[in-house]
Amino acid sequence: MNKEIKEFLASINNGIDGFSMPKTPSNLYEPITYILKLGGKRVRPMLALLAYNLYKKDIETVKKAILALEVFHNFTLVHDDIMDDAPLRRGQETVHTKWDSNIAILSGDVMMVKAYELLSYAPENVLPTLLKKFNTCAQEVCEGQQKDMDFENLPSVSVQEYLDMIRQKTAVLLGFSLEMGAILAGAPKEDSNILYEVGINMGLAFQLQDDLLDLYGGNSFGKQIGGDVINKKKSFLITKAIELNPANKKELLGMYNADMDNHPNKVELIKNAFDQLNIKEEAKSLIEKYENEGMEKITNLKTPYPKHLLIDFFNILKGRIS
Amino acid sequence: MNKEIKEFLASINNGIDGFSMPKTPSNLYEPITYILKLGGKRVRPMLALLAYNLYKKDIETVKKAILALEVFHNFTLVHDDIMDDAPLRRGQETVHTKWDSNIAILSGDVMMVKAYELLSYAPENVLPTLLKKFNTCAQEVCEGQQKDMDFENLPSVSVQEYLDMIRQKTAVLLGFSLEMGAILAGAPKEDSNILYEVGINMGLAFQLQDDLLDLYGGNSFGKQIGGDVINKKKSFLITKAIELNPANKKELLGMYNADMDNHPNKVELIKNAFDQLNIKEEAKSLIEKYENEGMEKITNLKTPYPKHLLIDFFNILKGRIS
């Protein structure tokens, strides 16, 4: 990892470590410290800093505001993990598993408040704009999560419906992260719009990678292997498999939507079916398409400072799956 | 009810009816419309309008921003009802009962975002102040709810601990509502501070009334009678009963913390014990103390416009229990 990117990451982690969380009620605040310290790449505040850095160099002045992105993201993880009944997150117990669902609901709520609190450290001249865009983004993230849950009760979902869902659930927050950095730096509106679109591309690629990792990532990523299959979650893999082989739709969905109790080897059977349809390659090809489009948009930006850090970070994210 | 107060209420309800909620995902937005249409006195936006009205008359200019208070309040109801496993709210099914817990979590989340969206309609010159104060208030409300839940697992709680909890859970939002109205009107800081304290007094009185209503309100209030007793919730009534009769603490708590399955007549037994200690009168006396203090603070305010509407509304709230 590039030295400057490492410094940015250290600065972000430093900011998170510096949160002055009240001691009590401990059931409210300990889960927040716990989830925030599970680590991760801090992708969202990193994107904001990298976008800011294309126009201005005094990153310390915006460091607090951009941490709103990380806290908001972790809020969504805490609530999503309840809804998905996920036992693990980054290889550790999820909040509702380690504590309980009620504590996870309320800690998540406080995290959302904390995100707005951090956001309000943005300079007053851009605060109304950022607040408005952040609200829109947050609402879209919730819509995406609701669609994701709704999809579980639908027999099948088209590839397009799936892509629309992950755009909202994952991509818009990455788009807003880059846009926020640009807005904080006073970048031209045209640039902040383009950066938003770069984030959308990255987010779509990112989520498709996540779908791939569920079955093809091994267990080194700290998640349950085949969790999506076990929980009958509509992922790109299953929607694409149905699109490619509609004649086999009924049989494939029958197995995909079966309970593990009745089909303990369900994950293996589904993986075999996907392999026959080259689903892994299909996903990789679409990921590459989104990545290339995003990279092209970055290249076309006319910024006062060089773009190599943002491009480096983009490449680091791409490297998540071989 | 006073004609002008009726007009204020109509204006608030009109604003709520005018929310343009997206149609889909219906599982996300229908619960929001549902809970907001269950009605209620709209106490919080009403307080904000009444405070604003002490300094300025053009209430239409702030109507959108003050609706944030009602949406935020309803967000807390939706999430609290999940945590308390409450079947009814204003005589109707709670959101997690009518839909499910996951939908209630996520709809609540969107309501919080919606509250911030409405708040951001405040004029830019006061937005940063309001945002900061709203964040503090929202965080305190969550702390209060966490303490309330923690109390359920404690064998007993002192009257003071209980009052500290309801201050956060209920009173600070009423305090902020009045303060917000004053700030929006550009009132002197001294006045907005006093109005905050008025709201605290009203909130404490309000919550103590709620505690009384649980056992002494009949079922006309749309709630399960004795719900607090059934769910072993620490209310003012039980904390005061223990304070008044410490010798009987073990026996009283033994019954209070018993399961309904083992003691189907638990609510009646507890009510008898409270009656012997005149708990109803104790509660009423404390309610009166808070009400009188609040009223005195209003009387001392030196505002350009008369205070009778705020006082009338205060009296309407007082009238909740005879």
Pick left, alpha or beta for residue A186 (phi over 0 → left; psi -120 to 50 → alpha; otherwise beta): left
A128 and B131 within 8 Å at the Cβ level: the answer is: no
Q: How far is B1 from chain A (nearest CA, A)?
A: 36
pTM for the model stands at 0.93
> Are B132 and A117 an interchain contact pair (Cβ–Cβ within 8 Å)?
yes
Could you report the per-residue pLDDT of A120-167, keeping only the tens digit for each? 999 999 999 999 999 999 999 999 999 999 998 888 899 999 999 999
Q: Which residue has the higher pLDDT, B11 or A220?
A: B11
Q: Which residue of B has its CA nearest to A79?
A: B105
Q: Which residue of B has its CA nearest to A24?
A: B143
A245 has pLDDT over 70: yes
Q: Do A120 and B132 touch (CB under 8 A)?
A: yes
pLDDT tens column, B245-302: 999 999 999 999 999 998 999 999 999 999 999 999 999 999 999 999 999 999 999 9
Type of residue numbered A69:
L
- Contact list in B for residue A139 (CB cut-off 8 A) is 110, 113-114, 117
Q: Which two tokens stand for residue B90?
A: 């204003």
**Chain A contact set for B25 (CB, 8 A):** 143, 146-147, 150
Mean pLDDT of A223-240: 88
Q: What are phi and psi of B233, to 5 degrees?
A: -75, 135
Residue in the structure block whose two tokens are 């929607």:
A239
Q: State the smallest CA–CA distance between residue A146 and chain B in angstroms.
A: 6
Total domain count, chain B: 1
Contact B133, B176 (CB under 8 A): yes
Q: Give the C-alpha separation, B208 to B214, whole Å.
A: 10
The pLDDT of residue B159 = 97
Q: Span A41-56, mean pLDDT?
A: 97
Range(s) of the domain holding residue B175: 3-318
Q: Any idea what the CATH number is for the domain that residue B220 is in? A: 1.10.600.10
End-to-end CA distance of chain A, in Å?
Answer: 17
Backbone region of residue B224 per phi and psi (left: phi > 0; alpha: psi in -120 to 50; beta: other values): beta
A196 residue type, one letter: Y
Question: Which chain B residues are closer than 8 Å to A106 by Cβ?
Answer: 79, 83, 142, 145-146, 149
Q: What is the mean pLDDT of chain A?
A: 94
Residues of chain A with C-beta less than 8 angstroms from the C-beta of B165 = none
User: DSSP string spanning A158-194?
Assistant: -HHHHHHHHIIIIIHHHHHHHHHHHHHTT--HHHHHH
The SS3 assignment for B92 reads strand
What is d(CA A216, CA A128) in angstroms, rounded to the nearest whole number?
A: 43
- CB nearest to A106's CB, from B120, B135, B146: B146
Query: Which of A22, A131, A145 is opposite residue B116, by nearest beta carbon?
Result: A131
Sign of the Cα torsion A199, A203, A204, A205 reads positive
Q: What 3-state DSSP class applies to A156?
A: coil
Banded pLDDT at A223 (limits 50, 70, 90): low
Three-class SS state of B308: helix
Q: How far B27 CA lies from chain A's nearest CA (Å)?
A: 7
Contact yes or no for B139 and A117 at CB 8 A: yes
Distance between CA B197 and CA B300 in Å, rounded? 12
pLDDT digits (tens, 9 = 90+) for B34-79: 999 998 889 999 999 999 999 999 999 999 999 999 999 999 999 9
pLDDT of residue A247: 95
Q: In sequence order, which residues have a C-beta less than 8 Å from that of residue A163 and are 6 or more positions away?
A: A204, A236
Query: Do residue A27 and residue B139 have CB atoms under 8 angstroms apart?
Result: no
